Chain A
Amino acid sequence: SQKIEQNSEALNIQEGKTATLTCNYTNYSPAYLQWYRQDPGRGPVFLLLIRENEKEKRKERLKVTFDTTLKQSLFHITASQPADSATYLCAPGGRGGGADGLTFGKGTHLIIQP
């Protein structure tokens, strides 16, 4: 069965530094991978989608890479701010035809310390 692993349950980063979050998956060949942010008691907010034929994607201070050989995606937040503190979820998807329900990793709780 599909397995999605995200690095550590909590990640503490100093404000201004780059936060790097890891998502590894097994038993799956996704056509794309999505990253979401979730704040306590709220639904996930879409951040970025990267497709299997894309190596890297950027949006403002966010950067995502996708290595289909390593079966891994890295999510970077540069110049991190305390407001970036949240849980970040990765969700590989696709291959089912049409819109697929997502399988999420447990998430990484990112804490940006002032």
Chain B
Amino acid sequence: GAVVSQHPSRVICKSGTSVKIECRSLDFQATTMFWYRQFPKQSLMLMATSNEGSKATYEQGVEKDKFLINHASLTLSTLTVTSAHPEDSSFYICSASSRTDTQYFGPGTRLTVL
């Protein structure tokens, strides 16, 4: 149990375009979903927290207008990177939690912006 999927697993896009990443909890309802970013040889950094039906809470230094988060249902959250630039290239990972303290992570999405 506690499986989280992400789609796509890998995406390459041109600078200036927008990219949407989906995160789904497959076998449980996620009251809270989180989005993290991981640069090479670095640890995961929390970007934002989203509760179903509410606006996301962004960490300091994360631009909410650039990283749009929608948590439309208890099993789906999306992250849209708007007007992507090469410095946005990173490994984006979501996690989901259902009224417990444990977070279950997705497999990650590798974004490369050319």
User: Which residues of A lie under 8 Å from residue B2 when comparing CB positions?
Assistant: 46
Residue contact B46 to A99, C-beta cutoff 8 Å: no
Closest to A104 in B: B43
Residue contact A49 to B102, C-beta cutoff 8 Å: yes
User: Which residues of B lie under 8 Å from residue A79 when comparing CB positions?
Assistant: none
Q: How many A-B residue pairs have CB under 8 A?
A: 63
CA distance A32 to B103 in the complex (A): 13
CB-defined interface of A14-55 with B at 8 Å, one 1/0 digit per residue? 000000000000000001101010000111111001000000
The number of chain A residues with a CB under 8 A from chain B is 24
Q: Quick check: is B11 within 8 A (CB to CB) of the other chain? A: no
State whether A106 and B43 are in contact (beta carbons under 8 Å apart), knowing that A101-B34, A101-B49, A101-B59 are contacts in the complex. yes
User: Which residues of A lie under 8 Å from residue B100 when comparing CB positions?
Assistant: 99
Partner of B46, one of A34, A36, A102: A102
Kindly specify which of B14-22, B72-80, B106-114 makes contact with the partner chain: B106-114
B77-114 contacts to A, CB under 8 A, are 91, 93, 95, 97, 99-108, 110
Tell me the B residues contacting A by CB distance below 8 Å. Answer: 2, 4, 6, 31-32, 34, 42-44, 46, 48-49, 59, 91, 93, 95, 97, 99-108, 110
Q: Could you pull out 30 A-B pairs where Cβ atoms are within 8 angstroms?
A: A32-B101, A34-B101, A34-B102, A34-B103, A41-B91, A41-B108, A41-B110, A43-B4, A43-B6, A43-B93, A43-B105, A43-B107, A44-B44, A45-B105, A46-B2, A46-B104, A46-B105, A49-B101, A89-B44, A99-B32, A99-B99, A99-B100, A99-B101, A99-B103, A100-B101, A101-B48, A102-B46, A102-B103, A104-B44, A106-B42
Tell me the A residues contacting B by CB distance below 8 Å. Answer: 31-32, 34, 36, 41-46, 49, 89, 93-94, 98-107
